[in-house]
Chain A
């Protein structure tokens, strides 16, 4: 089945620790995205990538880092510089054809220990 796989489903971070969220897709999509969702709020864009080895900051990139070494994979690292990391993190992807929707993985819920 084609889809977007995020792992883990739940993640706990200790103070001062970096953690990495995985996102893998087998849809052959070129563009991939990371969003953060806080309770009762909409989606805020962290980073996005339109092509391998290239990515751009979104609206709330501070405290996060990404890499895009393979078309299928777009991992997100939440660094210790992100002081309020507790949120629901969503990965999405889409084709680069015009006006196409984004499709989402199941999300990772990150909490602070």
Chain B
């Protein structure tokens, strides 16, 4: 059973600031890492995927992966009120098609 832990929220940031979300995982063999955004009452939406150590940037989002430390993070730059949501970290193993999800971190961006 892969375990995925996310930093407990809620996380409140002022508009325009950087929101930093963290995720650790227990299975060293994990190979794929995803961040999903889930608005209240809605289904999760994929916003980032990362597979190699280092940074991956997409617009205002940057995902960072450190496999040695079993750590993946998501930075949201220039946070907007529309970024207010719960962010789920998901980790995939090498030999199956399942993902393990963290409990999520709720972000609130204050105008």
A residues with CB within 8 A of B: 31, 33, 40-43, 45, 48, 50, 58-59, 90, 94, 96, 98-107
Contacts and interface: CB of A to CB of B under 8 A. Distances in A.
B49 to A, nearest CB: 6
Contacts, number: 45
Interface size class of B (residues with CB under 8 A): 20 to 34
Contacts of A102: 90, 99
Interface in B48-77: 49, 51
B25 interface: no
Nearest to A106: B43
A90 B49 contact: no
Contacts of B92: 99
Ranked 4 nearest A-B pairs via Cβ: A99-B32, A42-B103, A104-B43, A43-B101
B97 A94 contact: yes
Given A41-B103, A42-B104, A99-B32, 12 more contacts: A42-B101, A42-B103, A98-B31, A99-B31, A100-B32, A101-B34, A101-B46, A101-B90, A102-B99, A106-B42, A106-B43, A107-B43
| Binding site secondary structure of chain A | loop
B44 A104 contact: yes
B31 A90 contact: no
B98 A45 contact: yes
B63 to A, nearest CB: 13
A5 B27 CA distance: 32
B10 to A, nearest CB: 10
A103 B99 CA distance: 12
A51 B45 CA distance: 24
Contact of B51 (A48, A99, A103, A106): A99
6 contacts: A42-B88, A50-B97, A59-B1, A99-B51, A102-B99, A104-B45
B6 to A, nearest CB: 8
A98 B92 CA distance: 10
Contacts of B32: 99-101
A106 B38 CA distance: 11
